[in-house]
Amino acid sequence: MQKSVFLKRNTPPSLLTLVLVTGMGALNLNIFLPSLPAIAGYYDADYALVQLSVSGYLAVTAVLQLFIGPLSDRYGRRPVMLTSLAIFLVATILVILAPTITMFLAARALQAAVVASLVLPRAMIRDVVGAEEAASRIGYVTMFMSVVPMVSPALGGFLAGLFGWHSTFVAAFLFGFVVFVLFYFDAGETHHHRSTSIWRQFAAYPELFRSRRFWGYALTASFSAGAFYAFLGGAPYVANTVLDLEAESIGAYFAIIAVGYMVGNFLSGRYTRTVGITSMMIWGSIVASIGALIPMFLFLAGYVDPLAFFGPTFLVGMGNGLTLPSANAGMVSVRPHLAGSASGLGGTLMIGGGAILSSTVGATLTPETGIYPLIIAMFLTMVGAMFASAYVRHVDKLAATEAQDRLGFDGASR
């Protein structure tokens, strides 16, 4: 394993660089959320249409990940990452200058190129370490990265309150520029066994499709992240319409789920090597499902309060923090030579499902329904994650039994 040397372009990227690169994608998704009602007012558009800046953005990122993974397996992680960041910077300028809601949404879709910052760090970690160590490192990276979604909604609400919603995208551009420069000078290439053809990488997808373990890990990640994306799609509406909160307050309450995610990632980084990735996924799903149910009982009991809704999301974030590092490490470890493709395909399933959940929840919420469509969606996705994690354990046990049977047969033959 080659040791990382900070600001040296022929060694793997440092932990700081991976944290900031991963945080770039999280910031771009979160910083403008408290401004969604203000953006709807600015363009005189329905909230459901403006909400496409979340669900539509997620849908585009889902499609892009199908290409980013194989492209990075063919051409390397470094050039694909730098190109994606450059496209993001141009798109952010277009978002700021967009005169109509149509152009705003189109530029927002172009911003989705930054999804490489969520896909490639996982593959870069797996390029240089084994599966259990990768889960631990991914846990630590996302733990520190989770400061970004913890701070960015609060920062976005603060900026929007003082300078208007455009300022949130100015902040995203400045952060993106710093990340681009840092990655350029610090991140060397980690993938040194590249495919000779991009089509060969796409042709490798059936190999992943045939892997039951890959599907178990991918569905665990998809369902677990689905609870979070459902929250992103519905929470701004609930906060503004049901709870009557201002943008600054919405941003502050959004930090609760991010704090939980940070705690979960810390525990994942600390204990995954001891507990194992499958057990970590199962326990994370259980914790998050409990967190999703608590607001329903509190609201049914008459506690219609911001803390009754946002407070339990700490457990949802914590559960995601326990589950996702292990699920992501499992996905890219099933076929190590296809780490980039696996990360991209898994990310497509994860964020594509998130886009569907986000748009569906956003469309079903009304003053009459209150929080309940959102809470039900979050709970059901976490139950799905629990079953997918249990499926991975079942497949692992079958594989172990088959291996023992083969050893016994070989011994009897001798």
pLDDT: which is higher, 242 or 196:
242
Return the CATH number at 262. 1.20.1250.20
| CB distance 71 to 198 below 8 Å | yes
Tens digit of each residue's pLDDT (9 = 90 or more) over 144-167:
666 676 678 778 888 988 899 999
Mean pLDDT, residues 186-211: 72
Mean pLDDT, residues 289-308: 91
Rounded Cα distance, 115 and 112, in Å = 6
- In the chain, what is the greatest distance between 2 CA atoms, to the nearest angstrom? 79
Contacts of residue 219, Cβ cutoff 8 Å, sequence gap at least 6: 349, 384, 385, 388, 391
In a domain, 196, yes or no: no
Rounded Cα distance, 114 and 385, in Å = 26
Structure tokens at 93: 């300028």
DSSP designation for 8? -
Structure tokens at 298: 């509190």
| CB distance 385 to 288 below 8 Å | yes
Lowest mean pLDDT among 61-65, 69-73, 202-206, 305-309: 202-206
Structure tokens at 155: 């920062």
In a domain, 81, yes or no: yes
Tens digit of each residue's pLDDT (9 = 90 or more) over 15-42:
888 888 888 888 888 888 888 888 999 9
Which pTM was predicted? 0.69
- 140, amino acid identity: Y
The closest of 159, 31, 166, 39 to 93, measured between CA atoms, is 166
Structure tokens at 349: 């399933």
Please check the confidence at residue 98 and state whether its pLDDT lies above 90: yes
Structure tokens at 364: 């079903």
In a domain, 414, yes or no: no
Per-residue pLDDT, 386: 93
The closest of 196, 133, 180 to 332, measured between CA atoms, is 133
User: Helix axis angle, 36-43 relative to 212-237, nearest 10°?
Assistant: 60
Taking phi over 0 as left and psi of -120 to 50 as alpha, with beta for the rest, 44 belongs to left
In a domain, 315, yes or no: yes
Per-residue pLDDT, 144: 62
3-state SS string for 136-181: HHHHHHHHHHCHHHHHHHHHHHHHHHHHCCHHHHHHHHHHHHHHHH
Class of residue 206 by CB neighbours under 10 A (exposed 0-12, middle 13-18, buried 19+): exposed
The number of domains in the chain is 1
Structure tokens at 191: 């993938």
Enclosing domain of residue 320: 15-189+201-403
Tens digit of each residue's pLDDT (9 = 90 or more) over 219-241:
998 888 888 888 877 888 888 88
What DSSP assignment string belongs to 373-413? Answer: HHHHHHHHHHHHHHHHHHHHHHHHHHHHHHHHHHHHHHHHH
The closest of 159, 36, 157 to 101, measured between CA atoms, is 36
Please check the confidence at residue 317 and state whether its pLDDT lies above 80: yes
In residues, how long is the chain? 414
In a domain, 131, yes or no: yes
Contacts of residue 33, Cβ cutoff 8 Å, sequence gap at least 6: 54, 153, 156, 232, 235, 236, 250, 251, 254
Structure tokens at 275: 């507990």
Please check the confidence at residue 319 and state whether its pLDDT lies above 70: yes
Confidence class for position 249, pLDDT limits 50, 70, 90: confident
In a domain, 170, yes or no: yes
In a domain, 412, yes or no: no
Structure tokens at 346: 């898994």
| CB distance 17 to 182 below 8 Å | yes
Residue with tokens 């259980």: 286
Structure tokens at 387: 């079953």
Confidence class for position 413, pLDDT limits 50, 70, 90: very low
Tens digit of each residue's pLDDT (9 = 90 or more) over 56-88:
888 888 788 778 877 887 888 889 999 999 999
Mean pLDDT of the chain: 83
